[in-house]
């Protein structure tokens, strides 16, 4: 639901003309989040800038239409379960002979072939299967739970985007397209920077951030605790309270307490931050989502863009992160209603006549929701 649309949204922001094909019931995310003028927040975030064509793949005659569109496309992105595209006559083997320059990205949970390729896969499934959920539960000493973030979908969409851009470059050199098979499981395991501990069969050494109590609220400080201790002891005179001969676990506990007491000894947060900056320790405020978007950096970089809400106003979406020195990268327009661009796309891409489009509508191949 997210991986393919996210990759398409990023391509749109970088200047591609992106057409989203939707079923008659519409993308399921059209019902997620706050509704404005019949358009949901989630759908808007992932599909702003795209044009919408509504095709019923279950209707006879739909496959030739989609194959004609694919014949004019540079890239086709799909994130169905493996086998769905082939069932509709839209597999890579079906489409490539018609358009040898076509680049097709297929995103699935477990890859296009293999013993588990048939499985249904959403982000939470891959969070569990990749070890993320179990490891975090062990680290937090809590019951397993899923993070409130579709990490697996975003990873797959971003790696799919990398594959597309690489394939476009290869096509410039060799003239032919590619079929890119992205498995969400692969992307989760690749982007796990702690995987080396598992592969080398050694205990995990945590090197990420830790949260400490501090004036003004908790603060995140990154780095191995041994480095944190060494810097604070050397430059800020934090005294080691460990008695001679104490076991390692007791030494760590007492040193951590000394560091915690040092952080809380400051009368205000600015004093603590100055002390951390003085020894180059990286810190972070524990912000809410809304506070993150209001941060100085997000404001300066215009991380939030405003798009047409289709009701005479605007609504916010997160801007793509790409900042080129001499090229635009920006969300192109607001979201589309389901099937809003049926006629426009078929005329632009296929040179379809009004009679042909009316026949597709009569046959139930094309449909559209009423415009508010």
In the predicted model, what is the mean pLDDT of residues 257-268?
Answer: 98
CA 35/CA 39 separation, integer angstroms: 5
Q: Is residue 368 part of a domain?
A: no
Same domain, 78 and 175: yes
Give residue 1's pLDDT. 87
Q: Is residue 297 part of a domain?
A: no
Mean pLDDT of the chain: 96
Same domain, 236 and 101: no
List the single range of 7-11, 94-98, 222-226, 288-292 with lowest mean pLDDT. Answer: 222-226
Q: Count the domains in the chain.
A: 2
Q: Is residue 296 part of a domain?
A: no
Give residue 325's pLDDT. 97
Q: Looking at residue 269, which CATH number applies to its domain?
A: 3.30.1540
Same domain, 153 and 58: yes
Same domain, 225 and 171: no
Give residue 371's pLDDT. 86
Same domain, 186 and 266: no
Domain finish residue from 260, 289, 318: 289
Give residue 44's pLDDT. 97
Same domain, 33 and 136: yes
Q: Is residue 329 part of a domain?
A: yes
Q: Is the pLDDT of residue 206 over 90?
A: no
Closest CA to 333 of 325, 341, 342, 343: 341
The phi and psi torsions of 159 (rounded to 5 degrees) equal: -70, -35
Q: Is residue 257 part of a domain?
A: yes
Asked whether the beta carbons of 301 and 295 are under 8 A apart, the reply is no
Q: Is residue 268 part of a domain?
A: yes
Same domain, 181 and 226: no
Q: Is the pLDDT of residue 118 over 90?
A: yes
Closest CA to 340 of 367, 312, 363: 367
Domain finish residue from 268, 289, 310: 289
Which residue out of 27, 153, 181, 186 is catalytically annotated?
153
pLDDT tens-place string over residues 122-136: 999 999 999 999 999
In the predicted model, what is the mean pLDDT of residues 169-183?
Answer: 97
Q: Is residue 201 part of a domain?
A: no
Higher pLDDT, 207 or 94: 94
CA 303/CA 323 separation, integer angstroms: 11
The phi and psi torsions of 21 (rounded to 5 degrees) equal: -95, 125
Q: Is the pLDDT of residue 207 over 80?
A: no
Same domain, 70 and 182: yes
Give the contacts of 38 (CB within 8 A, at least 6 positions apart): 310, 337, 369, 372
Give the contacts of 240 (CB within 8 A, at least 6 positions apart): 233, 254, 255, 258
Q: Looking at residue 48, which CATH number applies to its domain?
A: 3.40.50.10540
Alpha-helix runs per DSSP H in the chain: 3-13, 41-47, 62-72, 84-87, 92-95, 123-129, 132-140, 151-174, 184-190, 195-199, 225-236, 248-264, 269-278, 289-293, 296-300, 342-350, 354-362
The phi and psi torsions of 313 (rounded to 5 degrees) equal: -130, -155
Same domain, 225 and 180: no
Same domain, 173 and 321: yes
Q: Is residue 204 part of a domain?
A: no
pLDDT tens-place string over residues 35-63: 999 999 999 999 999 999 999 999 999 99
Distances (CA, A) of 57 to 16, 175, 192, 302, 350: 25, 30, 37, 40, 18
- Write the DSSP assignment of 161-181 as a string of letters: HHHHHHHHHHHHHHS---EEE
Domain finish residue from 259, 289, 319: 289
Asked whether the beta carbons of 295 and 287 are under 8 A apart, the reply is yes
Instruction: State the residue range of the domain holding 94.
Output: 3-195+302-362
Same domain, 285 and 312: no
Any catalytic annotation for residue 153? Answer: yes
């Amino acid at each position: 639901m997210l991986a393919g649309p996210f990759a398409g949204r990023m391509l749109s922001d970088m200047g591609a003309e992106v057409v989203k094909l939707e079923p008659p019931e519409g993308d399921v995310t059209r019902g997620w989040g706050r509704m404005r003028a019949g358009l949901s927040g989630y759908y808007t975030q992932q599909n702003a800038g795209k044009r919408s064509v509504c095709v019923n793949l279950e209707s006879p005659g739909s496959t030739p239409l989609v194959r004609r569109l694919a014949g004019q496309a540079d890239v086709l992105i799909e994130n169905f379960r493996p086998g769905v595209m082939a069932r509709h006559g839209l597999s890579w083997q079906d489409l490539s002979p018609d358009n040898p320059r076509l680049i097709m990205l297929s995103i699935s949970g477990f890859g296009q072939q293999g013993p588990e390729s048939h499985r249904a896969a959403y982000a939470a499934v891959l969070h569990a299967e990749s070890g993320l959920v179990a490891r975090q539960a062990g680290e937090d000493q809590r019951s397993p739970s899923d993070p409130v973030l579709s990490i697996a979908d975003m990873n797959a969409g971003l790696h799919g985007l990398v594959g597309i851009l690489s394939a476009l470059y290869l096509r410039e050199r060799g003239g032919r397209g590619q079929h890119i098979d992205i498995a969400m499981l692969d992307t989760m395991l690749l982007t796990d920077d702690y995987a080396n501990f598992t592969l080398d069969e050694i205990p995990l050494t945590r090197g990420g951030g830790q949260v400490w109590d501090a004036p003004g609220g908790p603060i995140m400080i990154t780095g191995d605790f041994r480095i944190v201790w060494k810097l604070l002891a050397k430059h800020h005179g934090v005294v080691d309270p460990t008695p001679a001969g104490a076991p390692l676990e007791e030494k760590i506990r007492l040193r951590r307490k000394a560091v915690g007491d040092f952080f809380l000894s400051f009368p205000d947060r600015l004093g603590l931050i100055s002390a951390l900056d003085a020894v180059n320790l990286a810190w972070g405020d524990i912000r809410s989502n809304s506070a993150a978007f209001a941060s100085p950096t997000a404001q300066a970089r215009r991380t939030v863009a405003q798009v047409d809400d289709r009701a005479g106003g605007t609504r916010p979406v997160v801007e793509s992160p790409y900042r080129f020195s001499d090229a635009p990268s920006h969300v192109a327009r607001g979201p589309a209603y389901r099937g809003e661009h049926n006629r426009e796309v078929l005329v632009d891409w296929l040179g379809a006549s009004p009679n042909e489009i009316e026949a597709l509508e009569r046959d139930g191949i094309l449909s559209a929701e009423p415009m508010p």
